[in-house]
Amino acid sequence: MSTTPTQPPGAAPDAPGQASGHSRRWVMGAVGVLAAAAGAGVALKRFSPGAVDTANLAGFWDRSFPTPDGGTLALSSLRGQRLLLNFWATWCPPCVEEMPLLSAFYTQNKANGLHVLGLAVDKPAPVNQFLARAPVSFPVALAGMEGVDFSRTLGNEAGALPFSVLFGADGSIKQRKIGQLHAADLAAWNA
């Protein structure tokens, strides 16, 4: 006794050479997976730090930035020390979210010679208001919108925020990340 598959009532039989409903679902699923993988690849490339122009890096330590309290912070004062430079802004939710983590990280590691500098890509008034509400343990300087261009010289081709760069005591770039830092990132960078 042989059985033939039954179709739902009112359904037309598959034409010869036409994929069955099950096959169509499988093909559509595979196309969806491939599209997602391609999108992830594009996003990964877009938000992966690019090459650093060593000529731009040579002048990096010569820069100075105003601080929210009216002073000036010269990057040369941090030369020869490990430095985690974080580009951020008050209008950037992931930036604001990572600030307490960066503050705790600095407090835990400053005795080991690690410095953290928050370079705000923002205007002074919002930065001062933010720091009054949520003080941090590390110094903050103001780069304004020119900070986006400055971050590009360090490989942030997309100009995205937050952007973090870890410099070794020799001044070389050890790590970079576009996007929010997490405790696991900082632990790995500090190892």
Rounded Cα gap, residues 154 and 52, in angstroms: 5
Reference 90, options 65, 123, 113, 116; nearest CA is 123
Structure tokens given for 29: 């699923």
Could you tell me the fold of the domain covering 54-190?
Glutaredoxin (3.40.30)
User: Do 102 and 118 form a contact (C-beta atoms < 8 A)?
Assistant: yes
Integer CA distances (angstroms), 9 to 6, 12, 13, 24, in order: 9, 9, 10, 20
Rounded Cα gap, residues 64 and 27, in angstroms: 57
Phi, psi of 163, deg, nearest 5: -135, 125
Structure confidence at residue 50 as a pLDDT band (50, 70, 90): confident
- At 129, which helix (H) or strand (E)? helix 124-133
- What residues does each domain of the chain span? 19-48, 54-190
The pTM assigned to this predicted structure is 0.74
Structure tokens given for 124: 């002074």
Task: Give the per-residue pLDDT at 3.
Answer: 53
- At 152, which helix (H) or strand (E)? helix 146-152
User: What are the tens digits of pLDDT across the range 112-142?
Assistant: 999 999 999 999 999 999 999 999 999 999 9
User: What are the tens digits of pLDDT across the range 54-82?
Assistant: 666 768 899 999 999 999 999 999 999 99
Of the listed ranges 14-23, 53-62, 145-154, the one predicted with least confidence: 14-23
